Amino acid sequence: MGPPSSSGFYVSRTVALVVAALAAALLLALTVLASLYGHCERVSPSEQRGRKVQDAASPPPHSQEATPDPRNAQEPAVTTTWKDWRPPGPWDQQRLPSWLVPLHYDLELWPRLRPGQLLARCLNFTGRVNITVRCAVATARVLLHSLFLDLDAAEVHGPLNFATANATVGRVPVDSVWFVLDTEYAVLELGEALQPGGLYELQLCFSGPVLPDTREGLFLNVYTDQGERRALIASHMEPTFARNVFPCFDEPALKATFNITIIHHPLYVALSNTPQLGQSEKVDTDGNQWTVTTFHTTPPMPTYLVALAICDFDYVNRTERGKEIRIWARKDAIANGNADFALNITGPIFSFLEDLFNISYPLPKTDIIALPVFDERAMENWGLLVFDESLLLLQPSDELTEKKTVISYTVSHEIGHQWFGNLVTMNWWNNIWLNEGFASYFEFGVTNYFNPKLPGNEIFYSNFLYGVFREDHALVSRAVSLKVENFTETSEIMNLFDLFTYHKGASMARMLSSFLNERLFISALKSYLEAFSYSNAEQDDLWRHFQMAIDDQSEILLPASVKSIMDSWTYQSGFPVITLNVSTGIMKQEPFYLEKNENQTLLTHNSTWIVPILWMKNGITQSLVWLDKSKKVFPEMQLSDSDNDWVILNLNMSGYYRVNYDKLGWMKLSQQLQRDPKAIPVMHRLQLLDDAFSLSKNNYIEIETALDLTKYLAEEDEIIVWHEVLVNLVTRDHVSDVNNYDLYPLLKKYLLKRLSSVWNIYSTIIRENMAALRENYLALISLEKLFGAACWLGLEDCLQLSRQLFREWMSHPENEIPYLIKNVIQCYGIALGSDEEWDFLLNFYMNTTNEDERIHLTYALSCSKDPWILNRFLEYAITTAPSTFNETNVIETVAASEVGRYIAKDFLVNNWQAVSTRYGAHSLVTLVYIIGRSISTDEQMTELQQFFNNMLEEQQRITVHAKLQTIKNENLKNKKKSARIAEWLQKNT
């Protein structure tokens, strides 16, 4: 979210007095207009141009009124105006000045949510916050964050005298208050300076919106429970949304304690970070009764962890080590037992981490709430964790899926944050990986502890390494940790919550643990957590505590300091390719590039990594070695002429790098796989294939080297290894080229001959006992790819099974197709069927409101091989009501199918005006790319451009031409690669 360029305008006390008389008349007019348009019409960034501030007496904490009484005003109201100019000053800086340090917040919030009320575009809330601050530098200005809030009153009291229990304190005049939208500040101009060392209290009254279409600050969830439409309010403050809810010092290093009060309807329950302290009643000016719920004081914490919820949910609870755990969810979900699984794992996870770190969880309770919709998936607020219900609640139908494991990982991740993030918080967002990377690392450690049968290394690869390796490379601009702190806009900070922070960050922690040992790793983390409890830390603080652990022992020797080793990874983008020549023992490192060329390394990268090399020789684990230079000789890694001599680097893929070998090294590994594949652990069969195909794709080795590794596959019964093969050989590029090359029949013959063994295992399970897969996580995440590839390759048993299961579903729709293979069955049920199957699925589509389900059904409906059916589908897309089909999605999906690309092209010629009228000409650009994805000649490109020229505007033509040229070049490379694959298959089939 980027604020607009308009900013606040400075208003001095002298000017304010001159303006006051004119302001009175203007305020009267504005009041009338406000009553007509309502508060909700003024909250967007582009619309906010004026705020009113009254220098009025602020009510005492927990008073009967949350907003000031104008009758108590002692000075005239100060009206600020908004212009494009303001004097230069600290409000132009992106970080708060160090003048004031917040110590404590008394925060009261009153959202006006009532059961059964008409849910309009937004609701309002009012609030009051008293912030105790320590003055570090004398200042006559106060800067704090505030965004989209109307500030109704502002006072400053102090210096405070706690020795006399604040019986009498002074008052600092507030001359004016103004706002700076682009840096999101409220500025209080004071009549006298605050003094260093003094304690002061800022007293602010404010109001703002609760919006239903965002998850920033306070937001609304509208949902159905027990057959009724209901609503709740929840909060999400990370990273910078606390300022949307209350004026505050909204930076992670500015920790403070909080006393929170929530005013809510008596039929709702209010939740916050800490246990309820007490309740009272109050009546508003309209005679409506409200409940005032107060909560105990929080530990010191950043503003982004402040949390609240107002709802009429039910809960299940248990006690763990004397502390209550409650899971809150819709009443239907609680009654159906959907929260029981999460409840049963939460307590043991807390206990495990308490014992691991020898640091008790500091709060006496934990509430976990399952929201019907929460776009951020989950949030670790201290004492009130917030989840999207899809990641917390277990449906009975989920028993045969990987859902239990997903819930376990997600809950473990958020509980891990209670130590990494909540107890110890990074100083600034450039080190957010200290929160997310370690929480991600421990989610796997915790889940594997409670589920020891889970293949942890393979799951870490499939869930983390697989994805981030495909995004990371030497030219990407994103390192795990950023040395600079000069980014502060919310959009910039939000961009840090990505694969690099979570997945690469977890990989950094895993690699660190692997070259130390688990005992030393945990010992250093304990020391770090103890030293910075309730405080903040930087990356160097973490490395210092690891170095202390290293220095206190003599067993582990490192080639450099922990800081030097780890900085070489966290401050550099990309990762290295480690190449071993098994004839000479020479090992070298170079940056990994997408589509490497000869001069790239010299021109763009001159750094090296300090690389830990865990390795095995002939199946026996060897001692750790280090590659701390660009090149180094390891005589122990030389191989003899013996057929049984082989070596594999990067044990369990614990290091964040890819491994390459010379031709002899790859050949010996290929021969060992054909001779005795089980001598190489499954993790390393997976690793060899992943590294080889990735390196061949990016010009490090020949594609034939990767293909040689697949010769043994008739003996491979591990589905996760097959998954790796199929994602590299059964690709969209190869599917697109089916009609143009001899590749498909060769690939079909080669793979089906080797696929039969693993297919027979899983087809039998599908037919006889799907429950057998309940605990097989790798099968659960790989089965769809195996099933889909088998059917695409034309395996008759797969096609027959698809027909059978689809027809059984048609006969008994209440018996759903097994979730794991549902998409494949629906697609091939349509592809192999007639209009009867298609009409059945269309009717199913029309009767579901689940958007994700509709996306899958759209794909299945486009699998038809009958041109007239696909034409009819496209006709439906533009003739039915807009809410029935997203026609651009339908057209794009049909255009992406093997038969549909030609149908969609002709359909657009005949119906472009209808498509354009409903969705605009811009939708055509995406369709051009989809339809043109198989072009490989200038003639084809010219034909496609001429075809679309009349439909495109000039700028779109230029954009499309450049994109099509890129597609053509990419396709030419793919065709060359496909030709080489076909040639290899011809020799080896």
CA distances from 812 to 340, 809, 840 (A): 30, 5, 12
Q: Round to whole Å and give the CA distance between 904 and 887.
A: 12
Cβ–Cβ < 8 Å for 349, 367:
no
Q: How does 706-728 read in b/e, with b if 16+ C-beta sit within 10 Å?
A: bbbbbebbeebbbbbbbbbbbbb
In total, the chain counts a number of residues equal to 989
Q: Other C-beta atoms within 10 Å of 526: how many?
A: 17
Evaluate whether 821 touches 783 at the Cβ level (below 8 Å): yes
How far apart (Å, rounded) are the C-alpha atoms in residues 896 and 917? 22
The Cα–Cα gap between 306 and 298 comes to 9
| C-alpha to C-alpha distance for 299 and 256, rounded to whole angstroms | 8
**Residue from 432, 433, 133, 95 nearest 255 by CA:** 133
Report the amino acid identity of residue 860: A
CA distance 915 to 891: 10
For residue 370, the SS3 value is strand
Cis peptide bond upstream of 818, omega within 30: no
Report residue 843 as tokens. 């009717």
Compute how many other C-beta atoms are within 10 angstroms of the C-beta atom of residue 808. 13
Given 184, 201, 414, 887, which residue is catalytic?
A: 414
Q: What is the largest CA-CA distance in the chain?
A: 99
**Pairing label, strands 78-79, 276-283:** unpaired
Angstrom distances, CA of residue 374 to CA of 43, 109, 227, 366, 377: 22, 21, 21, 19, 6
Buried b (16+ CB within 10 A) or exposed e, 317-339: eeebeebebbbbbbeebbeeebb
Residue 858 belongs to what H/E stretch? helix 851-861
Beta bridge partners of 454: none
* Start-to-end CA span in the chain (Å): 56
- What whole-number distance in Å separates Cα of residue 138 and Cα of residue 197? 9
Q: 288 φ, ψ to 5°?
A: -80, 140
Asked whether residue 856 is marked as a ligand-binding residue, the answer is no
H or E stretch at 415: helix 403-416
What H or E segment, with its residue span, contains residue 927?
Answer: helix 922-931
Single-letter code of the amino acid located at 345: I
Backbone angles phi, psi at 587, to 5 degrees: -115, 135
**CB-based contact 8:82 (threshold 8 Å):** yes
Euclidean distance between CA atoms 831 and 791, whole angstroms: 11
629: helix, strand or coil:
coil
| 590 in a known ligand binding site | no
Spatial separation of the C-alpha atoms in residues 847 and 683, rounded to whole Å: 44
Q: Does 436 appear as a known binding residue?
A: yes
Closest CA to 593 of 697, 500, 696, 698: 698
Number of alpha helices (DSSP H) and beta strands (DSSP E) in the chain:
31, 35
What one-letter code names the amino acid at 954?
A: E
Q: Is 768 an annotated catalytic residue?
A: no
Q: Give 986: exposed, middle or buried? Use CB within 10 Å, 0-12, 13-18, 19+.
A: exposed
**Element spanning 673, H or E:** helix 663-675
Of 202, 208, 203, 212, the closest CA to residue 244 belongs to 208
Tracing tokens 């090294």 back to the chain, one arrives at: 665
Would you please indicate which residues are annotated as catalytic (active-site) residues?
Answer: 414
Q: Which residues are annotated as a binding site?
A: 413, 417, 436
Q: Which residues are annotated as a binding site for Zn(2+)?
A: 413, 417, 436
